[in-house]
Structure 1
Amino acid sequence: MTIPYFVLTRDQREVPLNVLGTHVTVLASNAATQSYGITFQQGSEGTGPPPHSHDWDESFYVLDGEIDFHCDGRVHACHPGTLVHVPRGTVHGFQYGKGGGRMLEITGQGALAAQMFTAIDHEVPAGPPDVPALLAVLERHGVTVAG
């Protein structure tokens, strides 16, 4: 099956998803490309996911701000132009620094990130997270929260 090319202009993008305070715009899902996925993420200072792991590779490219990445117990202060590659199974998380930040996320084949972000946006109310509901969504999408 040949996947046709596509061009996604700014005005064709879906409305950003609210993923626990991070605004996530799905630019290309793994389903659309039959390979990789790309999201644009923008978060406020202090927000970001806790340490977790999953069975897909992902990479992050920092566009603006400082983002502290936690990978296998080490913290890396990442500035614009930094690429962080996280192989499947690696415990990782991140937190947006002072003033927030923006980055691209690229996920490997078989990733369920876009589906997970959509489910969190639809099933976990804004505000302080409903932890049991959040954990159920994460588990359904193959994500394990560390610790």
Structure 2
Amino acid sequence: MKPEPFVVTPDKYARALNVVGEKITVLASNTATQGYEVFLQQGDEGTGPPPHCHDWDESFFVTRGTIEIGYGGQALQAAAGTFVHVPAGTVHYFRFGAGGGEMISVTSHNGNASRLFTQLDEEIPPGPPDFDKLLAVAQACGVTVPPPER
């Protein structure tokens, strides 16, 4: 089935998903686009995922605040207007800086990000997360969280 054009205005946004303290709004799912996905991600200072990787590319465009984005043994302080691309299979993380921040993220085709975010919103309640359950959901959606370096 060929994808159809669509428009998503702020008054029509889906409910923001609560993904371990981060608010993620699905702007375009792979079901709608027949490929990539687009998200609005908002987080308070210090929130963000641990180092992880997955089998889809992911790009970030910072729209507000400063976000530390790490990959390949390096980290950068990405200010508003910064674009970062992370190829599939690259271990990466991000952490929202002082005062929190906002970014648009885009995943490549066949991404499971919207499924991952939806399941985390449904299965992990607000507050300190159950890490075993969090890891199980992540793994089921094709995300690998390497063990911490010692």
Cα distance, 1:84 vs. partner?
0.5
**1:7 maps to 2:13:** no
Deviation of the 1:31 alpha carbon: 1.5
Task: Report the AA paired with residue 128 of structure 1.
Answer: P
Please, which runs of 5 or more residues in structure 1 have no aligned partner? none
Deviation (angstroms), 1:29: 0.6
- The residue aligned with 1:28 is 28
Alpha-carbon distance, 1:55 to partner: 0.3
> Considering only aligned residues, what root-mean-square deviation do their CA atoms show, in Å?
0.7
Name structure 2 gaps, 5 residues minimum.
none
TM-score, length basis structure 1: 0.98
Letter in 1 for 2:73: G
1:75 matched to 2:75: yes
SS in 2 for 1:134: helix
Measured after TM superposition, the shift of residue 11 of structure 1 is: 1.3
**CA shift digits 1:21-77 (9 cap, x unpaired):** 110000001121001110000000001000000000010000000000010111111
Quick one: which amino acid aligns to residue 131 of structure 1?
Answer: F
| Structure 2 Cα separation of the partners of residues 121 and 89 of structure 1 | 24
The residue that corresponds to 1:94 in the other structure is 94
- Structure 1 runs (4+) deviating above 4 angstroms are none
- Distance (whole Å) between structure 1 residues aligned to residue 48 and residue 120 of structure 2: 14
TM-score (norm 2): 0.96
Partner Cα separation in structure 1 for residue 14 and residue 34 of structure 2: 19
